[in-house]
Structure 1
Amino acid sequence: MTDPLTAEWAPAQVAVMHGLRDWVVDFTELNQHFATWLDLPGSDANALGQITWAAETGAPLSPVRLARRIGLTTGATTVLLNRLEAAGHVHRSRESADRRRVTLRPSAGARERAREFLAFAGAEIAATLRAADPDELDVVIGFLARITAAAAEANQRLGRPGGSRGGRGS
Structure 2
Amino acid sequence: MAQDQDQGSDAELAQLLRQLVVETDRFAEMFGAAHGMHRTDLNALTVIMDAARRGAPMSPSQLAAALHLSASATTAVLDRLEAAGHLHRDRDPTDRRRVELVMADHAMQLGQRFFTPLGAELAEAWATLTARERRTIARFLAASIDATVRVRTRLVQPRP
Change (3 A) 1:100 1:131: farther
From 137, 144, 147, give the equivalent of 1:147: 144
From 9, 23, 26, give the equivalent of 1:26: 23
Q: CA RMSD in A?
A: 2.6
Any gaps of 5 or more consecutive residues in structure 2? 1-5
From 82, 86, 91, give the equivalent of 1:89: 86
Change (3 A) 1:152 1:42: closer
SS at match of 1:59: coil
- For normalisation by structure 2, the TM-score amounts to 0.79
From 99, 103, 114, give the equivalent of 1:106: 103
Partner of 2:76: 79
- For normalisation by structure 1, the TM-score amounts to 0.75
Count of aligned positions = 153
Task: Report the Cα offset of residue 87 of structure 1.
Answer: 1.6
SS at match of 2:15: helix
Counterparts of 1:23 and 1:60, CA distance in 2:
29
Task: Report the Cα offset of residue 10 of structure 1.
Answer: 9.2
Change (3 A) 1:10 1:121: closer
Is structure 2 residue 12 aligned with structure 1 residue 15? yes
Task: Report the Cα offset of residue 129 of structure 1.
Answer: 3.7
Is structure 2 residue 54 aligned with structure 1 residue 35? no
Partner of 1:55: 52
Give the letter aligned to residue 79 of structure 1: A
Give the letter aligned to residue 105 of structure 1: V
SS at match of 1:39: coil
Task: Report the Cα offset of residue 108 of structure 1.
Answer: 0.8
Higher mean C-alpha deviation, range 10-19 or range 75-84: 10-19
Q: 1:10-38: CA deviations, max 9, x gaps?
A: 96110110011111111111110111332
Give identity over the alignment, percent. Answer: 35
Counterparts of 2:136 and 2:8, CA distance in 1:
19
SS at match of 2:9: helix
Q: 1:96-128: CA deviations, max 9, x gaps?
A: 744433221210111111111112343322323
Q: Is the 8 A contact 1:38 1:45 kept in 2?
A: no
SS at match of 1:122: helix
Change (3 A) 1:103 1:135: same
Higher mean C-alpha deviation, range 31-40 or range 109-118: 31-40
